[in-house]
Structure 1
């Protein structure tokens, strides 16, 4: 089953303009841009046939081609990464059986998250797409809560049913729990990992749907699937001792760099 990874990247981020070109310093002191680190993460995934960066910005294109990435130019009218992935897949002529959207703000995404995600979608023929979720430990839950108290969006949380089909995603911390947890304790909160695996028909249908009120309120593209009665498979992934965080705000740079040093990521 052929697999394409698309890394959508835009310069004009509302919360963090120019984010794909932000530099992160690795454990060895070497600086690499966020988009390069995301591309390197994608290239480490087993069983993938092609990796491309999809952007509408020549600055990102120049940098990405400079470190060896294949780039697909897409329209400035793409409202989010899913629309950009749909356009990129079409521009490449289609034909891939699974398209993975690895958003360019997740350089700490381990290869097994994506490998498990693809395997999960393959095993669920009734699902049009899948996305990973990671159980929060106490330290991660505290970070999510602290960001919300400070008025920042530090991550997205997910709720899902007994069959692992998604019930809801939110930038708030859900479900509510007033409990305080030890740093290494398991919690009932699941961190949504911003990666998606689509079947081509679900991906192609997405841009034709109107933006619904929940997607508009939360600013979460995956809610468009739920608002159009499309099921999403939540694939539970394991950290295996790796820390995970996404670069959502400038304040996240030192946090991610500290994690990279602790994990020896160059």
Structure 2
């Protein structure tokens, strides 16, 4: 396994069973082509699927679970602009956390033969990597994304990537967006509305370290100095914190109203539990 996938595996692990089941583009568990596993019977199951021999051996009624040959088609949509050079609340670079999240979704697809591609970029434009299968393909995607974030990236603008996908991807699929926390405005709403009319969307957001802290900082987008909290005074700090709470509330209301499951992941150690929660919401939505 390559460098980036190994780093993702260190934080996400190797157990991907049950993730991304459900939703409109999931594996279909029906009387179909290929035996998958046994599971306990629940009311409403087709009695024709009961495995009587296995049930007799175990003392419990067990159902044969089948999978069809239909798999997910997944498109990762990632911000590779300057925002990924800033720090998360725990001090990691956002590019590292984002790469580990992207790698985690890649690991999920490996055991399921899902097709996965990526669109990444910044305000200058998009790079489109077509959907394919396999470890080498996923590692190459992660390498290209990470290299872009290091090589003088442009200003971040995830709406540019969302607009590209909404314009160029017509066939229904699962869209996984990995970015910082977007500003809710008309541009975002237009792109999201177009995407949701055709695709399922999940959103993993990597937040910034608070701009007002114990040390001076700088804005990675503009390069301007951001003074420490002590220099700004308590009234300015309090106003900043209120504005951040209001912004987070608007974003939560926006994504919830549009039925977009999302997770805020501020550290690589949070990737496993937050993505498990995110995919469970996705499965229930199906």
Common fold by TM > 0.5: no
Higher Cα Rg: structure 1 or 2?
A: 2
Higher strand share goes to which structure? 1
